A and B are shown apart, each in its own frame.
Chain A
Amino acid sequence: MKNTEIISVNSLTKRFPMGLGEFTALNGIDLTITKGEFSGVVGPSGSGKTTLLNIIGLLDNPTDGDAVILGSSSRALSVREAAILRRKHLGFIFQTYNLLPVYTVFENAEFPLLLLKMTAGERKRAVLDALEWVGLSDKVGSKPAQLSGGECQRVAIARAMVKRPEIVLADEPTANLDAENSHHILRTMLKLNEDLKTTFLFATHDDKVISYLKRKITLIDGKVSRDETIIR
Chain B
Amino acid sequence: MLAFKLAIKNLIGAGLRTWLNVFVLSLALVMIVFQSGIIHGWDVQARIDTTEWAIGGGEYWHDNYDPYDPLTLDDGHGLLPPELSGLYNDGQAAPVLVTQASVYPEGRMRNIILKGIDPDQKIIKLPSSQMAGDTSVINALIGTRMANATKLNKDDLVAVRWRDENGTFDATEIRIAGIFRTNVPEIDNNQIWIPLDRLRKITGLEDNATYVILKQGITSIPTVPGWIFKDRDSLLSDIESIIKAKSIGGIVMYIILLSLALLAVFDTQVLSIFRREKEIGTYIALGMTRWQVVRLFTVEGAMHSVLSIFAAAIWGTPLLFLVAKYGFAMPKATEGYGLTIAEKIFPVYALGTIIVMTLIILITTTIVSFIPSRKIAGMNPTEALRGKVQ
Residues of A participating in the B interface, judged by any CB pair closer than 8 Å: 50, 54, 57, 59-60, 79-80, 83-84, 86-88, 90, 92, 94, 96, 98, 100-103, 107, 111-112, 114-115, 117, 159
Report how many A-B pairs have Cβ atoms within 8 Å: 66
Residue among A59, A80, A114, A159 making CB contact with B2, cutoff 8 Å: A114
Inter-chain pairs besides A59-B284, A83-B292, A102-B9, 5 sampled, C-beta below 8 Å: A90-B287, A94-B282, A98-B385, A107-B9, A115-B288
- The verdict on A115 contacting B286 (CB below 8 Å), with A98-B281, A102-B9, A102-B12 known, is yes
The interface residues of chain A lying within 8 Å CB-to-CB of B12 are 102
User: Are A86 and B385 in contact, CB atoms less than 8 angstroms apart?
Assistant: no
User: Are B9 and A103 in contact, CB atoms less than 8 angstroms apart?
Assistant: yes
Bound: A101/B285 CA distance, A = 16
Which of B14-30 touch A at CB < 8 Å? Answer: 14
Q: Is B301 an interface residue (CB 8 A)?
A: no
User: Are A103 and B282 in contact, CB atoms less than 8 angstroms apart?
Assistant: no
Residue among A86, A112, A114 making CB contact with B5, cutoff 8 Å: A114
Q: Is B289 an interface residue (CB 8 A)?
A: yes
A103 to chain B, nearest CB (A): 7
The interface residues of chain A lying within 8 Å CB-to-CB of B14 are 102
Bound: A54/B289 CA distance, A = 16
Bound: A122/B158 CA distance, A = 94
Can you list 11 A-B pairs, Cβ within 8 angstroms, ordered by A?
Answer: A79-B290, A83-B284, A83-B290, A86-B286, A87-B287, A92-B286, A96-B278, A102-B9, A112-B286, A114-B6, A159-B286
Q: Please name the residue on chain A nearest to B293 by beta carbon.
A: A83
- The verdict on A112 contacting B285 (CB below 8 Å), with A98-B278, A101-B13 known, is no
Bound: A92/B382 CA distance, A = 12
Bound: A69/B9 CA distance, A = 33
User: Are B285 and A59 in contact, CB atoms less than 8 angstroms apart?
Assistant: yes
The interface residues of chain B lying within 8 Å CB-to-CB of A94 are 282, 285, 385
Bound: A71/B162 CA distance, A = 108
- The verdict on A100 contacting B279 (CB below 8 Å), with A59-B382, A107-B9 known, is yes
Chain A to chain B: the 8 pairs with minimum beta-carbon distance, closest first: A102-B13, A87-B287, A98-B282, A83-B289, A86-B287, A92-B285, A59-B381, A54-B382
Q: Please name the residue on chain A nearest to B278 by beta carbon.
A: A98
Q: Is B317 an interface residue (CB 8 A)?
A: no
Bound: A96/B279 CA distance, A = 11
User: Are A83 and B287 in contact, CB atoms less than 8 angstroms apart?
Assistant: yes
Bound: A117/B289 CA distance, A = 15
- The verdict on A115 contacting B287 (CB below 8 Å), with A54-B382, A102-B10 known, is yes
Bound: A87/B279 CA distance, A = 16
Bound: A159/B286 CA distance, A = 9
Bound: A101/B14 CA distance, A = 9
User: Are A80 and B289 in contact, CB atoms less than 8 angstroms apart?
Assistant: yes
B294 to chain A, nearest CB (A): 12
Bound: A54/B6 CA distance, A = 26
- The verdict on A57 contacting B285 (CB below 8 Å), with A94-B385, A103-B13, A115-B2 known, is yes
Bound: A60/B385 CA distance, A = 12
- The verdict on A79 contacting B289 (CB below 8 Å), with A102-B10, A103-B13, A107-B9 known, is yes
A123 to chain B, nearest CB (A): 12
- The verdict on A83 contacting B288 (CB below 8 Å), with A59-B385, A100-B282 known, is yes
Bound: A90/B286 CA distance, A = 8
User: Are A60 and B286 in contact, CB atoms less than 8 angstroms apart?
Assistant: no
The interface residues of chain B lying within 8 Å CB-to-CB of A98 are 278-279, 281-282, 285, 385
The interface residues of chain B lying within 8 Å CB-to-CB of A96 are 278
The interface residues of chain B lying within 8 Å CB-to-CB of A103 are 9, 13
Bound: A84/B290 CA distance, A = 11
User: Are B285 and A86 in contact, CB atoms less than 8 angstroms apart?
Assistant: yes
The interface residues of chain B lying within 8 Å CB-to-CB of A100 are 279, 282
User: Are B13 and A88 in contact, CB atoms less than 8 angstroms apart?
Assistant: no
A93 to chain B, nearest CB (A): 10
Q: Please name the residue on chain B nearest to A103 by beta carbon.
A: B9
Bound: A57/B285 CA distance, A = 8
The interface residues of chain A lying within 8 Å CB-to-CB of B6 are 114
Q: Please name the residue on chain A nearest to B384 by beta carbon.
A: A59
Bound: A84/B285 CA distance, A = 10
The interface residues of chain A lying within 8 Å CB-to-CB of B381 are 59-60
The interface residues of chain A lying within 8 Å CB-to-CB of B279 are 98, 100-101
Bound: A199/B305 CA distance, A = 45
In the complex, which of the residues B9, B278, B286 has the most CB atoms of chain A within 10 Å of its own CB atom? B286
